[in-house]
Structure 1
Amino acid sequence: MKKLEKIDLFNVVLESGKQRPYVPLFYQTFGQPIGSAPIVVVNHALTGNSNVTGENGWWNELIGETKTIDTDYFTVIAFNIPGNGYDNNFGNLISNYKDFTIRDVARIFWEGLLYLNITDVFAVIGGSLGGAVAWEMAALLPNRIQNLIPIATDWKATDWVIANVLIQDQILNNSDDPIADARLHAMLLYRTPQSINQRFQRSKFLDSSVFQIENWLANHGIKLKNRFRLSAYKLMNHLLKTNDITRNRGDFSTIVKTIKASIHIVAVNTDYFFIPEENKATFELAKAVKENVSYHEITSIHGHDAFLIEYQQLAQILEPIFNPQKQQNYVSA
C-alpha cells in the first residue's frame, strides 16, 4: 500500500461555530510528484478510504498506469475524511459526529491542498458521499477546479436521503450488532430488486434452509464490522444529510453560475439512493446559466453501486476528460 501521509491542522472552526483544536488529515498520493503534473483529487465514498489504486485499491480499474486516470500523467491525491479510522489510530476517531458537515470536510480538504502548496486542481472526482464533498469543494472555492465530476450523488440531501440516514442512525445507535445490521439495510439501498433477484433466484445452500441472499447480506455485514469502526460509520452516515451547497448562500442557479469548472454530472439510471431524476433536474438548472456542464448516465441493473461495478461505462464517460494528450501543455506553477 502507498504510504499514508499526515497533515496536522490546528484550531479548525466548524460550520456550527464549534472549534476543534486539532484535526489530523491523512492522505495518499499516487503517480507524478506534486508540482510536476496536473492534480486530480479523488474523494472516497462512505466506507471508502484514500487507497484508490495499487494494492487493495478500490478504484484500480480506473486509476493507475495506462488507466483512464493515468498516473503516468497525473498526480492523484486522496484524503481520508477525518474520523474514518483508516489510519488505525483509534484516538483520531470522532465521537461528536453531529458537529460535522460536508462543508467542514470540504474546507478541511482545501486546507490540506493549500498546505501542499496546491491552489488549483485539474479535477475533483468522487462517487456518492465523495461526490457530495466534491460539489461542496467547488462551491467553497469556485475558481480553483477545472473539472468537477460528481458521480452517483447530488449537491443536496433530498428527503429520501435524509429519511434513510435517519434509519441508519437509529440502527447504529440502537442495535446490538450495529455495524452489521446497518450494513444489511444499506446494501439494499445500494442495489436494486432486479439485481438481487437476478443474482440469487431464490436459491438456498444445499442441505440448508438458508437462502443465499441471506448469507450474502450477512457476509457484507461481517466484513464491514471487521474493518470499520462504529464511530466512523455514524459520522459518514450523518454527513450525507448535511449535503446542501445552497445552505446560507442562496439558490442553486446563483451558486453554480459562479463555479468556473466544467461540470460533468454522472448518474446511474437505476440509482434508488441518489435518483437520476434529481441529477437531470440539476443539469437542466445548471445549463440554463452555465455552458460547460454535461450529463451522463450509467445504464445498469445494479443501482447506486454501479459506479463501483460498471467500470467500462464509467471509463468511456471519463476518457475525454482525462485523455493525457490534452495535458501536454501543462506547465508547473
Structure 2
Amino acid sequence: MNIDYSKVKKITINAPLKLDCGETLEKFDIAYETYGNLDETKSNAILVFHALSGDQFVTGTNNVTGREGWWNQVVGSGLPIDTDKYFVICANVLGGCMGSTGPKEINPKTNKPYGLDFPVITIKDMVSAQTHLLDFLGIKKTLSVLGGSMGGMQALQFCSLYPERTFSSVPIACAASHSAQNIAFNELARQAIMADPNWDSGNYFLSGKVPRNGLAVARMAGHISYLSEQGLQSRFGRKLQEGDGLNFSFDADFQVESYLKYQGYAFVDRFDANSYLYITRAMDYFDLYKLNNGDLSKAFKNTNVKFCIISFSTDWLYTTEESKKIVIALNSIGAQVSFVNIVTNNGHDSFLVNEPEFFQTLKGFLDSTYEDFKNENSR
C-alpha cells in the first residue's frame, strides 16, 4: 500500500520533552484527530488513547490508509461516545508511525530517519507528550480520559501524573503492569522482526526494503493473544480451507491459519516495524507498582478522578484479576470507582467488537459523568 502521510494533521511542539530514558527531544510532532465540537464551557472533551496497533483515526475513514476507524462502533453520532455531544480527541502516540515523532521520522541531527537512534520511550513519555496537545487545544481539564489495552495503561498513567486534568477515566482491558507472559509475547514479536534480513538493524528505510515477513509473524503472535480459546474454537475449530481433505503440505490447511496470515500481512501495509519494537517495549516497561514502591494505591493518592474500570471475562492477556487489583487500590484510598466485568467469548479484543453490554456501560458512565462535570463547572 502506498501511504501518503502528507494527509496527517499534526502540530510541532517547540519545547523540550525530557524522557524517562534520560534523553531529551528538543521538539516533537504530535499527529492527532478531533471529532465533534468543543462546547463553550470546554466541559465535553474526551481524550481517547489508542492501543498498540491503533492510531489517531478513531472513527470514520482513515484518510491516510483508506481503512475504517478502529472504534467505528463506539465513537460517532448517536453512539456510546456520541460526537453530537462530546468533543473527542485522539493523538498518535510518541514513537508511533502515523505522523507523531517516532523511529520512521527524520532525525534533525542527521536528516535521515531515526531508526534505532530514536530514544527508547515509556507510557509516561507518551502521556506527557499528549498534555501538550491539550494545551494547544486550550483544554485545561477533560471530561474523561479513556482507552483499551495500551490505551488503558495511558489512561491510568495520565490519572497518576495529572489527576487535576481530568474529571473521570475509563481504563478498559488493561493492567497496572505488564506480566511476564505479556513481556514474553512481546519479545517473541520483536525477535521475529529483528530476525528478518530486511530489518537491517533497523535501517531498512535507507535500503527501501521492508521486513514484511518478520512484522507479519509478530502481528500473528500478538493476534493470538487478543482472542480467547472459546472464541477461536467457536469461530474456526478445525475447519479446513477447502473440502474435507488435508493437503499434506505446509500451506494453510486450516481456516485459522489463513485468518492469521491475513491479519499479519494486512498489518504490514499500515504499520512500521521499528514502531512495533518501540511501542511494545514501552508497554513492557509500564509498571505503576514499581513507580510507587510496590503500593499501587500511592499512584492515585488524593485523586478526585471518577473511575470506571472495565474488564472482559475471557481476556487472558489482561485478566479480570488484574483489573480487580486496580479497583482494590482505588478503593483503599476512598476513590470513586465502579467496576464492570463483562462476560463474553471475545477475549481481549472485546472492546473492539460488537459487545452491547460494553457499549451500555461506557455510554451510561460517560453520560452521568458529563452531567456531574457540567454541574461542577456551573458553580
TM-score by length of 1: 0.92
User: Matched residue of 1:323: which SS?
Assistant: helix
- Hey, what's the Cα distance between the residues in 2 that align with 1:261 and 1:234? 32
Q: Is residue 283 from structure 1 mapped to residue 287 from structure 2 by the alignment?
A: no
- Aligned to 1:160, which of 177, 181, 185? 181
- Hey, what's the Cα distance between the residues in 2 that align with 1:292 and 1:235? 34
Contact 2:44–2:86 (Cα < 8 Å) also in 1: yes
Query: Which one has a bigger Cα radius of gyration?
Result: 2
- Hey, what's the Cα distance between the residues in 2 that align with 1:259 and 1:246? 17
- Hey, what's the Cα distance between the residues in 2 that align with 1:278 and 1:330? 32
Partner of 1:243: 286
Contact 1:62–1:311 (Cα < 8 Å) also in 2: no
Contact 2:176–2:287 (Cα < 8 Å) also in 1: yes
Partner of 2:225: 189
Change in 2 beyond 3 A, CA 1:245/1:110: farther
- CA apart distance, 1:63: 1.0
Contact 1:191–1:305 (Cα < 8 Å) also in 2: yes
- CA apart distance, 1:145: 1.2
- Hey, what's the Cα distance between the residues in 1 that align with 2:92 and 2:57? 9
Change in 2 beyond 3 A, CA 1:294/1:331: closer
Q: Is residue 14 from structure 1 mapped to residue 28 from structure 2 by the alignment?
A: no
Give a deviation string over 1:75-125, Cα, whole Å, max 9, x none: 110010123212399425753466201110011011221222211010001
- Hey, what's the Cα distance between the residues in 2 that align with 1:31 and 1:303? 30
Contact 1:149–1:266 (Cα < 8 Å) also in 2: yes
Partner of 2:110: none
- Aligned to 1:33, which of 1, 13, 38? 38
Partner of 1:65: 77
Change in 2 beyond 3 A, CA 1:150/1:94: farther
Give a deviation string over 1:189-221, Cα, whole Å, max 9, x none: 111222111111211122663211111010001
Q: Output aligned runs, 1:73-152, within 5 Å.
A: 73-87=85-99, 90-91=104-105, 95-96=115-116, 99-152=120-173
Partner of 1:265: 309
One-letter amino acid matched to 2:331: K
Contact 2:44–2:87 (Cα < 8 Å) also in 1: yes
Contact 2:123–2:153 (Cα < 8 Å) also in 1: yes
- CA apart distance, 1:330: 7.9
- Aligned to 1:47, which of 39, 46, 53? 53
- CA apart distance, 1:19: 1.0
**Number of equivalent positions:** 331
Q: Output aligned runs, 1:312-323, within 5 Å.
A: 312-323=356-367
Taking only the aligned residue pairs, the percentage that are identical comes to 27
Contact 1:298–1:306 (Cα < 8 Å) also in 2: no
Q: Is residue 216 from structure 1 mapped to residue 216 from structure 2 by the alignment?
A: no
Contact 1:123–1:146 (Cα < 8 Å) also in 2: yes
- CA apart distance, 1:297: 1.1
Change in 2 beyond 3 A, CA 1:267/1:243: same
Give a deviation string over 1:140-178, Cα, whole Å, max 9, x none: 112221111110101212222222222222222124521
Between stretches 252-261 and 31-40, larger displacement belongs to 31-40
Contact 2:28–2:100 (Cα < 8 Å) also in 1: no
Between stretches 137-146 and 321-330, larger displacement belongs to 321-330
- CA apart distance, 1:49: 0.7
Q: Which runs of 5+ in 2 are unaligned?
A: 1-6, 62-67, 107-112, 198-212, 248-252
TM-score by length of 2: 0.81
Contact 2:301–2:333 (Cα < 8 Å) also in 1: yes
- Give the ranges of 4+ consecutive aligned residues of structure 1 lying more than 6 Å apart after TM superposition: none
- Hey, what's the Cα distance between the residues in 1 that align with 2:327 and 2:214? 37
Contact 2:309–2:323 (Cα < 8 Å) also in 1: yes
One-letter amino acid matched to 1:182: A
Contact 2:149–2:173 (Cα < 8 Å) also in 1: yes
Change in 2 beyond 3 A, CA 1:258/1:161: farther
Partner of 2:344: 300
Change in 2 beyond 3 A, CA 1:80/1:217: same
Q: Which runs of 5+ in 1 are unaligned?
A: none
Contact 2:29–2:99 (Cα < 8 Å) also in 1: no
One-letter amino acid matched to 1:58: W
Change in 2 beyond 3 A, CA 1:94/1:197: farther
